[in-house]
Amino acid sequence: MSTLSRLIGGFVRQHSRAYILSGAMLAGVASLSILVPRKVGAMIDGLAAHTLSGNALLWEIGSLLLVGAGIYFLRVAWRQILYGAAYQLGVSLRTRLYTRLTLQGPGFYQRQRTGDLMALATNDIDAIEMAAGEAMLAGFDGALTLVMVLGVMLLGVDWRLACVALLPFPLMAWAFWYISGHIHTASTDSLKRFSALNDHVQETLSGVRTLRALGLEQRSTQQFSELAGKASDASLRAQVWEAAYEPAVGLTLTAAGGLTLGLGGYLVWNNQLTIGALTAFTMYLGQLIWPMFAAGWVLSLIERGRAAWQRLQPMLDAPLAIDDHGALTAVAPGAVSLRGVGYAYPDQAAPALRDITLDLLPGQTLGLVGPTGCGKSTLLRVLLRQLTPQSGSVAWSGHALADYKLHALRAAISWVPQESFLFSASIADNIALARPDATRAQVEHAADLAAIHDDILKFPQGYDTQVGEKGITLSGGQRQRVAIARALLADNDLLLLDDALSAVDTGTETQILRHLEELRQARHGRSAVIASHRLSSVVSADLIVVLRDGRISETGSHDQLLEQDGWYASQWRYQQLEASLDAV
């Protein structure tokens, strides 16, 4: 049994009441449907024998109308009940996928494309949802109708006609098997093409400013047209193969109808069958159209669902980069200790961190500096448990980071990354992201500490200004300061700034750092780690660590490092000279 079958089977068992009720209604539809040909045949025989007229005829016609109304209402009811349950599978799968994605580490997203993940959450899950809903009940409905109609044809009308009419059906079964294989291949290709198109659109819209600046609009449009054409062709191939079911059904039923009329006409001519019985049998044969089409439709939906599940399942089963098996649900204030920490990225030969040993005491500020690629950001990601050290250990308040629940650990840390991300919401909502219950006064105070308050007031709508997707309406420095305000409003025990002042001028930088120092002194036990390529950001830090090639090459305060006359001292002199030249 395939994993898709197990998934759908488990879902059906979970919502068994809805499926049983829908199945019972479909059984009622099938039972009422097979009454129609029998009643029509009896009416024709009664009219031919002049035994049916007047009120009796009106009664028979009225009963047919009642049967039709019953079929209509039962079909509407079962669809409402079934789809109300089937849509829950889509909700469940989307929730599972979303939860899984939120727990994945950065390495996972380096291997995956955003547009592809979005396609999985929309198009692919829709296909699986249809397989669990429409396909399940259409298959049940078609199979039940087929069994009941064939039973009536064999036992209730004439077994000889039934045997002759079924002769072409094995050929149709072979055609269905052949077509379904091609549909699976075409559906897989169609889903992949849609993902590629989705990824191109997402990437283009995210980088639309760059495209315009480089004058690449025409080339991007051409690429979009090519991808859209390939996606359209792939979908068309899948639809062409799906359309092949109809001719197979039509040819089979045409052949069956011809055989039926040939033998039926002979039996009527020899008074072995009445005209009404032949009419009823022909109507029953017509009722086989739905089971045949249902079989093709079900096979098509199942193959689409199977292709979608083959794409979705690896994402749901992808191992998490970080195990979340800790038991501690709160982080007490305490020292952060690193002992012999080492980490190497899978695609790089040289380790990013080597034998890092240091302590950050409560209330201290640690500065991380060094040349580009020395491991500053990697070290911060280790503290956040976005990366797990391959050697050494990291502890906070005497407990290994792995002993804490991830949500508890990260709830105790405020992090401002190099590239600040803002959501498509107001400035106030972005600042209050970690504390949605914060008052406007608290939001404004945090913005003031981040030196962004005055800038916000210059916008026509102030704090209610919508920043656009990824904060596109703000400058780089404004985005950084909004992100800093968000971190300060969270008021957590550990503040991590990953080159978060790179886009602001030195005056604004000095103002923000002064506010951070005031906050640290006012709130005893709050620690901070400031990683920066600009040494002026870490001048007042209690301890400054210089990283080079992933190793600690120098440690000490600002004055102590100047006395050592190493990399820090030479870089400080260079940056001071650069600043003085800029001022001229």
Q: According to the model, what pLDDT value does residue 41 have?
A: 63
Higher-confidence residue: 414 or 110?
A: 414
Q: Same structural domain for residues 350 and 456?
A: no
CA dist 14 → 21, 196, 417 (Å): 14, 35, 43
Q: Which of 246-255, 432-441, 571-580 has the highest mean pLDDT?
A: 432-441
Higher-confidence residue: 517 or 379?
A: 379
Q: Is the confidence at residue 44, as pLDDT, over 70?
A: no
Q: Same structural domain for residues 28 and 132?
A: yes
d(CA 491, CA 43): 84
Q: According to the model, what pLDDT value does residue 35 have?
A: 66
Q: Same structural domain for residues 246 and 330?
A: no
- Packed helices 3-14 and 54-103: angle between N→C axes, nearest 10 degrees: 120
Higher-confidence residue: 477 or 571?
A: 571
From 491, 524, 551, give the residue that closes a domain. Answer: 491
d(CA 6, CA 128): 12
* CATH number of the domain where residue 146 is located: 1.20.1560.10
Q: Is the confidence at residue 9, as pLDDT, over 70?
A: no
In the chain, how many domains are there? 3
Q: Over pLDDT 70: what percentage of the chain?
A: 79
Q: Same structural domain for residues 431 and 371?
A: no
What is the rounded average pLDDT of the residues 86-112? Answer: 78
What is the rounded average pLDDT of the residues 487-516? Answer: 83
Helix, coil or strand: residue 547: strand
Tabulate helix, strand, coil % of the chain (nearest 5): 65, 10, 25
Q: According to the model, what pLDDT value does residue 395 have?
A: 92
Q: Same structural domain for residues 344 and 212?
A: no
Q: Same structural domain for residues 227 and 159?
A: yes
d(CA 88, CA 14): 11
Q: Is the confidence at residue 584, as pLDDT, over 70?
A: no
Q: What range does the domain containing 371 cover?
A: 326-412+493-584
Strands 353-360 and 365-369: unpaired
Q: Same structural domain for residues 157 and 256?
A: yes
pLDDT bucket at 1, cuts 50 / 70 / 90:
very low
Q: Is the confidence at residue 61, as pLDDT, over 60?
A: yes
d(CA 208, CA 470): 12
On the 0-12 / 13-18 / 19+ scale of CB atoms within 10 A, 210 is exposed
Q: How far apart are the first and last CA of the chain?
A: 76
Q: According to the model, what pLDDT value does residue 547 have?
A: 92
Which is nearest to 404 in space by CA: 343, 319, 323, 494? 323
Q: Is the confidence at residue 144, as pLDDT, over 50?
A: yes
What is the rounded average pLDDT of the residues 89-107? Answer: 80
What is the rounded average pLDDT of the residues 328-340? Answer: 87
Strands 527-531 and 353-360: unpaired
From 491, 507, 540, give the residue that closes a domain. Answer: 491
d(CA 361, CA 2): 54
d(CA 405, CA 326): 5
CA 21 to centroid of chain Cα atoms: 31
Determine the length of the chain: 584
d(CA 171, CA 168): 6
Q: According to the model, what pLDDT value does residue 357 have?
A: 92
Q: Same structural domain for residues 404 and 457?
A: no
Q: Same structural domain for residues 576 and 524?
A: yes
Q: Are 428 and 440 in contact (CB under 8 A)?
A: yes
Q: According to the model, what pLDDT value does residue 379 have?
A: 92
**pLDDT tens digits along 390-432:** 898 999 988 988 888 888 888 888 888 888 888 888 888 888 8
Residues paired with 159 in a beta bridge: none
Residues paired with 144 in a beta bridge: none
**pLDDT tens digits along 282-304:** 766 666 666 776 776 677 777 77
Q: According to the model, what pLDDT value does residue 39 have?
A: 66
Query: Tokens 């399940």 correspond to what residue?
Result: 136
From 491, 518, 534, give the residue that closes a domain. Answer: 491
Lowest mean per-residue pLDDT among 153-162, 341-350, 388-397, 455-464: 153-162
Q: Which of 89-103, 310-324, 434-448 has the highest mean pLDDT?
A: 434-448
Q: Same structural domain for residues 439 and 566?
A: no
d(CA 285, CA 291): 11
On the 0-12 / 13-18 / 19+ scale of CB atoms within 10 A, 285 is buried
**pLDDT tens digits along 203-232:** 776 676 677 666 767 777 787 788 777 778
* CATH number of the domain where residue 470 is located: 3.40.50.300
Q: Same structural domain for residues 221 and 131?
A: yes
Q: Is the confidence at residue 520, as pLDDT, over 60?
A: yes
Q: Are 238 and 303 in contact (CB under 8 A)?
A: no
Lowest mean per-residue pLDDT among 214-218, 383-387, 464-468: 214-218
Q: Same structural domain for residues 485 and 566?
A: no
DSSP secondary structure letter of residue 242:
H
**pLDDT tens digits along 160-208:** 776 777 777 777 778 777 777 777 777 777 777 877 777 777 777 667 6
Give the helix/strand (H/E) hosting 553. strand 551-556
Which is nearest to 198 in space by CA: 122, 261, 136? 122
pTM for the whole structure: 0.68
Lowest mean per-residue pLDDT among 40-54, 361-375, 468-482: 40-54
DSSP secondary structure letter of residue 320:
P
The rounded mean pLDDT for the chain is 78
Q: Are 228 and 140 in contact (CB under 8 A)?
A: no
